[in-house]
Amino acid sequence: MRQANIPAPQTLDPQRGEIWRVNLEPVEGSEQGKARPVVVMSEPATGRASTSLCAPIIHRKPLHARLFWCVELAPDVANGLTKNCSADTAQTRVLDAVRFEAKLGEVTPDELEAITTALCLCVGRVPMPPTP
């Protein structure tokens, strides 16, 4: 039974292309960890309602320019990032809604397309061109 002074948990609804701060602990092996931003990649109707496919966002390093799976994200008001970053599609994982802490912003349509392309290449698929 819920006590009267405890608010009900907030229902989070992460959408494709949004950037959220999530808690990635606990991790195994070389997975990305700690609280960090991620880009939500799932379409709204994909999978169970409480999970989202997400690409972690990491601090941008010069090496990332040569790695097809790292998509550059420059900081701006719309995405809520504060430094140059990369969406690391090689570390994409499914996250439950309980890991989501706060919405930071969203990527541009061009950035989302680049991240989607990188993710497709990570699984050995050439992305289909958009239909007119």
The CATH number of whichever domain residue 72 belongs to comes to 2.30.30.110
* Pair of tokens at residue 11: 């229902």
**What is the domain count for the chain?**
1
pLDDT in tens, 1-31: 444 554 445 567 899 999 999 998 887 776 6
Q: Is residue 41 part of a domain?
A: yes
Confidence of residue 46 (pLDDT cuts 50, 70, 90): low
pTM over 0.85: no
Q: Is residue 6 part of a domain?
A: no
Radius of gyration of the chain (CA): 16
Q: What is the structure's pLDDT at 91?
A: 92
Q: Is residue 104 part of a domain?
A: yes
| Host domain of residue 82 | 18-23+33-122
The residues, any chain, with a CB within 8 Å of residue 51's CB and separated by 6 or more, are: 42, 94, 95, 96, 97
Residue whose entry in the numeric block shows the structure tokens 């698929």: 125
Helix, coil or strand: residue 15: coil
Given a cut of 70, is residue 130 above it in pLDDT? Answer: no
Given a cut of 80, is residue 44 above it in pLDDT? Answer: no
Q: Is residue 110 part of a domain?
A: yes
More confident residue, 56 or 131: 56
Q: Is residue 100 part of a domain?
A: yes
Q: Is residue 7 part of a domain?
A: no
Q: Is residue 132 part of a domain?
A: no
Q: Is residue 67 part of a domain?
A: yes
